[in-house]
Chain A
Amino acid sequence: QVQLVQSGSELKMPGASVKVSCRASGYDFTTYAMNWLRQAPGQGLECLGYINTNTGRPTFAQGFTGRFVFSMDTSVSTAYLQISSLKAEDTAIYYCATRDLRKPWGQGTLVTVSS
C-alpha cells in the first residue's frame, strides 16, 4: 500500500539547520510531485511548495523562498526539506504529501526550535 514515512522529531537551536526526509513506497515516486506543508502549534495548514519528482525542480509558495530547500533522491524514493537559519516561529509539524490528493500524507515531523 502507499506510504509516506517521515523522519523523527528534531530539537534545534535558533540559527541551526534541519533536514526532514519523506520516504515513499507503494507507487512510482517520480509520478507525482511532492508537496511540503507545515502546521504551527494550534494553527492551520500552510503549503510551503513542492518538488517536481520527475525533474527535481522546486516551486516555493510566497514567503518560503531563501531559507527553504527541497531536494530528492530518486534511488531511494525520498524527498527532503531543509530549513536553514531556524527561528522560533519555524516550530511546527512538517508534512509531506503527494500531488495526488488520494494518497495518504506522511505522519508528520515535529521540528522544535528553542534555545
Chain B
Amino acid sequence: DIQMTQSPSTLSASVGDRVSITCRASQNISAWLAWYQQKPGKAPKLLIYRASFLESGVPSRFSGSGSGTEFTLTISSLQPDDLATYYCQQYNSYWTFGQGTKVEIK
C-alpha cells in the first residue's frame, strides 16, 4: 500500500497569512494526488485534483504543486472560512489519505 505522510498535523495562523501543507508519498504517484477540505459534520470537499488543478468553484487562493512523492497545498491569504481539516489523497493505486492537517485561525 502507498502511505501518505502529511505535515503539520495542526497549523495556527492569522487571517491574511500564507500557509502551506506538505504531503509525502511512500512511492512515486506521478501527479495522482488530490486535496480535500473537511468541515465539522460534513463530507470532504475536493479542492485540488491531479496535484495542481483547481476544482471548479474553489477560491483561487488555494493552489497545489508537486509531483512524484512531494506535494504542497498553499492558501495564499488565509480567510476565516478556511477553518477546517485538510487531507491529501493519492489515487495512483486504490485510495489512501494523509492523516490530516487541522487549520486554526489565531
Interface on A for B, CB 8 Å cutoff?
Answer: 35, 37, 44-47, 49-50, 59, 61-62, 95, 101-102, 104-108
Contact = CB atoms under 8 A, between A and B. Distances in A.
Interface residues of B, number: 19
A61 B96 CA distance: 10
Given A62-B1, A101-B34, A101-B49, A45 B91 contact: no
B97 interface: yes
A contact face: mostly helix, strand, loop, or mixed = loop
Interface of B: 1, 34, 43-46, 49, 55-56, 87, 89, 91, 94-100
Contact of A101 (B46, B97, B99): B46
A99 to B, nearest CB: 8
